[in-house]
Structure 1
Amino acid sequence: MKKFMFLYKGYVTPTPEIGDAWMSWFASMGDRMIDSGNPMSGGAEVTPQGVQPIETGLESLSGYSILNAESADEAIALAKTNPMITSVIVYELARM
């Protein structure tokens, strides 16, 4: 199995329906879910030029999870089932 990080993009204030959809999705992942992660709120981007605040909204990263999958294709298929706000960014985690 390979490990993949799902970065969730986009935020809207959750309704009970959105919360229920997410909890159902997490449960459907079963033992593939290594770390269900945490939601993210406002942050900052630090560059050599300075620090810029990141506001929570449709373009911000809003959470992450780490899952097991046999391949990138399988990870992408799992991401497609997510009750996303705008998108899920999928990265394979390199072994060190």
Structure 2
Amino acid sequence: MPQFIFAYHGGKTPESEEEGAKVMDAWKNWMGSMGEALKIPGAPVGMSKTVSAGGIADNGGANPVSGYTVVEAADQDAACEMAKGCPMVVDGSGSVEVAEVIEMGM
């Protein structure tokens, strides 16, 4: 079964410990709901740098990645359905980019 990477964009920093606990519970519940389909829980990431032929930019790019997860699904549509439950999508603070991980024969 193919794997898909969820690249998270956006989100917001909780304003209190209580809000942080609620956010963490929402993520744990969502990830738990995926069961065996969750292959790599991933993690949040810090600000990125963009490396190109023109040099290195410190701006995080046009739409900085804020975290990632890897899941297994029958197809991209099924993976997108899973991504709809992401807490950032549900609360409107961010989005999830869903891309298939292509196996390379090396």
Q: TM-score, normalised by structure 2?
A: 0.80
Query: Which of the pair has the greater relative contact order for Cα pairs under 8 Å at 6+ separation?
Result: 1
Higher helix share: 2
For residues 24-51 of structure 1, give each alpha carbon's deviation from its aligned partner in whole angstroms, at most 9, with x where no partner exists. Answer: 1111111100100111011210111111
Equivalent AA in structure 2 for residue 35 of structure 1: I
Q: TM-score, normalised by structure 1?
A: 0.88
Gaps of 5+ in 2: 15-19
Q: Report the aligned-residue RMSD.
A: 1.3
Gaps of 5+ in 1: none
Equivalent AA in structure 2 for residue 83 of structure 1: P
Q: Secondary structure at the match of 1:37?
A: strand
Q: Which residue of 2 aligns with 1:8?
A: 8
CA shift, 1:11, in A, is 3.2
- The answer on 1:54 being equivalent to 2:59 is yes
Q: Distance in 1 between matches of 2:72 and 2:50?
A: 29
- The answer on 1:87 being equivalent to 2:95 is yes
Whether the 8 Å contact between 1:35 and 1:67 is mirrored in structure 2 is yes
Q: Which moved more, 1:61-70 or 1:46-55?
A: 46-55
How many residues are aligned here? 93
Q: Give 1 or 2 for the bigger CA radius of gyration.
A: 2
CA shift, 1:60, in A, is 2.0
Q: Percent identity?
A: 35
Q: Which residue of 1 aligns with 2:41?
A: 36
